[in-house]
Amino acid sequence: MHVEKKSELRSLLKSGDKRCKLVEPRNTKSCVWRFFNLVQCDDRIEPYACCKTCGDLLSYSGKTGTGSLLRHRCLHSSSSNGKFGIRISRTPL
């Protein structure tokens, strides 16, 4: 099963459909993966990552990289409970 729309995938995950699950990424280089899981449906990795903090789905592809994950709001802003979110900064080369 290939999920065409993000909303369809979100519904499957929320409903607890056993065909879809969140999996820990393996062999990663970026530190951002401590805060995200990959989305797998019917043993196929979908082009989305799920935030472990808020559950939001973000587009992700190994070809395009982790830029969208690094810009995600949970990593840069304060949360609704008053605690600061995790901040990831890039150090200049």
Check residue 1 and give its pLDDT: 53
- The SS3 call for residue 13 is helix
Does 92 map to a domain?
A: no
Does 12 map to a domain?
A: yes
Q: How many CA atoms lie within 13 A of 83 on its CB side?
A: 6
Does 91 map to a domain?
A: no
Does 87 map to a domain?
A: no
User: Is the pLDDT assigned to residue 78 strictly greater than 70?
Assistant: no
Does 22 map to a domain?
A: yes
Does 37 map to a domain?
A: yes
Does 57 map to a domain?
A: yes
Check residue 7 and give its pLDDT: 87
37-66 burial: b if 16+ Cβ within 10 Å, else e: bbbebeeeebbbbbbeeeeebbebeeeeeb
What is the domain range of residue 71? Answer: 6-75
For residue 50, what are the contacts with CB-CB under 8 A and spacing of at least 6? 13, 22, 36, 37, 38, 39, 56, 57, 58
Q: Where residue 6 falls among pLDDT bands split at 50, 70, 90?
A: confident
pLDDT single digits (tens) 60-73: 888 888 988 999 98
User: Is the pLDDT assigned to residue 75 strictly greater than 60?
Assistant: yes
Structural domains in the chain (count): 1
Does 25 map to a domain?
A: yes
Write down the residue that tokens 């008053």 correspond to.
82
Q: Kindly report the CA angle at 3 between 60 and 75, in degrees rounded to 5? A: 30
User: Is the pLDDT assigned to residue 84 strictly greater than 50?
Assistant: no
User: Is the pLDDT assigned to residue 79 strictly greater than 90?
Assistant: no
